Amino acid sequence: MDNLGLTSTTSLLGIEFSNVTEETAVRRVLARPEAARFGYVVTPNADHIDRLMRIPRLRAVYRRAMLCLLESWGVAVVAGMFGLEYPCVVTGARLTNALLPHLHGRRVAVVGMRDEEFAALCARFPKVEFVHHQPPMALLEDDVAFAAAVAFVCRTRAAFTFFVVGAPVQELLAFSVAQCPEAVGIGLCVGTALQLAAGVRTPPPRWMTEHGLAWLHGLGHEPLRLAGRYLLADPRVLVALGLAAIRQKIH
């Protein structure tokens, strides 16, 4: 991870998470000089963790992040039940909501979002100077479009860039931008958080989120898109947490 002050970390399932509160994360992101070389924030949830367990080469992308924040209350709740140490939970949605009021007058790039979603975002935050790039679908299969998205971020030189193209595409984009010496600012890989902030998606009630039940809300609203994630990927993470707890007791 980038040196962003003294950030303590907590290892969970082989992933080094930044163990900072939401307030600390917001403060450190806002304090970073705008002209500093590009860095990025990732917010892995259970789906990300499952992918990282299955595709270890992706872990370097998360290690390169200046902050790696645990998104999932569900993972935290289960880890705690098993007696495992876990980091503070900082969701992408709450991080985004906390940051946006501080971005008035700043240039903020958005990679992804449909045109109507972007228009809703601009209408809700008229004091932010948003610039937009909408890449095509299947970005990882289109080298030209992927390179164009990276070039957009480098060329725009925005103080903040939100990647709204889903995992692991957004993390791989941010990682690629970070390899460009001319790129500046901070990239935020926060999934649907910007769509929630724009009011084009319905957030789960806070009590559901903090009891690890946000997945149930999402499954009810988007069953076709999320069924595979919540019914196949996430249980694998829960099993991995149980096995980690057993290994910890043995050793």
DSSP 209-240: HHTT-HHHHHHHH-HHHHHHIIIIIHHHHHHH
Q: Which residues of 2-40 are buried (b: 16+ CB within 10 A; e: fewer)?
A: bebeebeebebbebbbbbbebebbbebbeebeeeeebbb
Alpha-carbon separation of residue 211 from 70, 101, 107 (angstroms): 15, 27, 36
Asked if pLDDT for residue 3 goes beyond 50, the answer is: no
| Model confidence at 136: pLDDT above 50 | yes
3-state secondary structure of 121: helix
In the chain, the largest separation of any two C-alpha atoms, in whole Å, equals 56
138-189: pLDDT as tens digits: 999 999 999 999 999 999 999 999 999 999 999 999 999 999 999 999 999 9
Q: What's the confidence (pLDDT) of residue 170?
A: 97
Task: Tell me the Cα Rg of the chain.
Answer: 18
Q: What is the pLDDT of residue 201?
A: 77
Residue 220: pLDDT above 70?
no
- Please give the average per-residue pLDDT across 94-102, as a whole number: 96
237 against 3, higher pLDDT:
237
The whole-number pLDDT of residue 211 equals 55
Q: How confident is the model over 17-31, as a mean pLDDT?
A: 96
If 0-12 CB within 10 Å is exposed, 13-18 middle and 19+ buried, where does residue 134 land? middle
Collapse the DSSP code of 34 into the 3-class scheme (helix H, G, I; strand E, B; otherwise coil) and give the result.
coil
